[in-house]
């Protein structure tokens, strides 16, 4: 099984409305992309000083590397990135590993 973790830092001027729009769009992905086996996501809880954590994270599990690759290029995923993530994105960090 493959786990994908992506963390995002937003532009400092991003509105809470845009973050909510992103959260709603991300939440639709498991219903639209059948290769996703497990999916969690959410904003940072701000337990640490401002700027030390990322602002948002997505954690998704897949049966295989190919399933992850299919997710990465899926049109629903790519559309969500273009419409909701890229306009507010400052920085991204990601990793995929076996579980």
Which three-class secondary structure state does DSSP give residue 9? Answer: strand
Output the pLDDT for position 33.
98
pLDDT in tens, 53-75: 999 999 999 999 999 999 999 99
Residue with tokens 């786990």: 3
Structural domain of residue 68, as residue ranges?
2-98
Residue 85: phi and psi, rounded to 5, are -95, -55
Tell me: pLDDT of 20 over 90.
yes
Quote the pTM value: 0.93
50 pLDDT exceeds 90?
Answer: no
Q: Which residues contact 74 (CB under 8 A, 6 or more apart)?
A: 32, 33
Q: How many domains does the chain have?
A: 1
CATH number (domain holding residue 85): 3.30.70.100
């Amino acid at each position: 099984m493959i786990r994908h973790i992506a963390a995002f830092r937003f532009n400092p001027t991003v509105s809470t409305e845009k973050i909510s729009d992103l959260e709603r769009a991300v939440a639709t992905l498991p219903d639209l992309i059948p290769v996703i086996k497990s999916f969690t996501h959410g904003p940072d809880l701000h337990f640490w000083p401002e700027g030390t954590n990322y602002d948002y994270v997505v954690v998704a599990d897949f049966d295989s590397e190919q399933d992850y690759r299919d997710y990465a290029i899926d049109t629903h995923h790519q559309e969500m990135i273009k419409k909701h993530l890229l306009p507010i994105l400052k920085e991204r960090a990601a990793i995929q590993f076996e579980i």
